[in-house]
Amino acid sequence: MSAIDRVFEELRKTGRKAFMPFITAGDPDLAFTADVICELVARGSNLCEVGIPYSDPIADGPVIQASYTRALERGIKVGAILETLGQLAPELPAPMVTMVSYSIVYRHGLEAYVDAAQAAGVAGAIVPDLPIEEAHRLAEVCRQRDFSLVQLITPTTPRDRALQIAAQATGFIYYVSVTGITGERTELPPDIVQSVGWLRGQTPLPICIGFGISRPEHVRMLAPVADGLIVGSAIVRRIAEAAHKPRQQVLTEIGDYAAGLIEAMGE
């Protein structure tokens, strides 16, 4: 049983749902990334998704794209990211998952990347640009190491393909709530509840919903059908303001924001 499996098992015992923030590694720097992760976990986050900056993001909206650009311009390296996460992991009660392009994994070598990530205390990876037809080798590497390989399913994924993806996924399924890119939205599609309900009947894996979630009303709408909710752009946008405000003030604002969403999950 992986660290991610244990988190969802404990949450199910108590009828709770997971809150998973997304943070871009190295924006504005790795020291602040570490502080943000610690703040979010202290406020009740159950897992943390850490974005590995990449020059050609697949489905990221302008807020996350800009954060990747800022980190890359400062010369952020994968090794330094994993070193920072490795320093956090021993004292962090919430598993960390990397959002990483397959080109980065491939360049390092599949076994080498997974081994390095696991040595740093990372529990799994989300690889958004790896199609299911080409994922078998990485899936096997991850399975051998009990390292979760999270797969994405979107509103436009045909149902037969969704079943194939669910069969290969481990850890949890990342259900993309909207068609398009990441970013804060005022409203989410009304049919998402029905779509996730169908998927829940097809797989025993936890289903976490992401893209567009930024408001308590979104959380109240989705928490009843999801095992977890992922919030990214709204947090990354607040982190970007670190350049214009005292860092402790930004940390407190991010923590308060996350705490409000977590509270809404229990309403």
pLDDT at site 101: 96
- Domain assignment present for residue 132? The answer is yes
- Domain assignment present for residue 210? The answer is yes
Q: In the block, which residue shows the tokens 């999801």?
A: 226
User: In this model, does residue 153 exceed pLDDT 70?
Assistant: yes
Q: For 239-261, give one letter per residue: b (16+ CB within 10 A) or e.
A: bbebeeeeeeebbeebbebbbeb
- Domain assignment present for residue 11? The answer is yes
Domain that holds residue 173: 3-261
- Domain assignment present for residue 129? The answer is yes
The string of pLDDT tens digits covering residues 26-60 is 999 999 999 999 999 999 999 999 999 998 867 56
CATH number at residue 226: 3.20.20.70
Pair 231, 213: CB distance under 8 Å: yes
pLDDT at site 179: 54
- Domain assignment present for residue 138? The answer is yes
User: In this model, does residue 214 exceed pLDDT 60?
Assistant: yes
Chain mean pLDDT for the chain: 91
Domain count, the chain: 1
pTM of the model: 0.93
Mean pLDDT of 242-261: 91
Mean pLDDT of 73-86: 97
Strand 173-176 with 148-153, pairing = parallel
Secondary structure tally for the chain: helices H, strands E: 12, 8
Better pLDDT: 63 or 118: 118
The string of pLDDT tens digits covering residues 160-212 is 999 999 999 999 999 997 654 444 444 555 678 888 989 999 999 999 999 77
pLDDT at site 121: 97
- Domain assignment present for residue 267? The answer is no
* Active-site annotation, residues: 49, 60
- Domain assignment present for residue 266? The answer is no
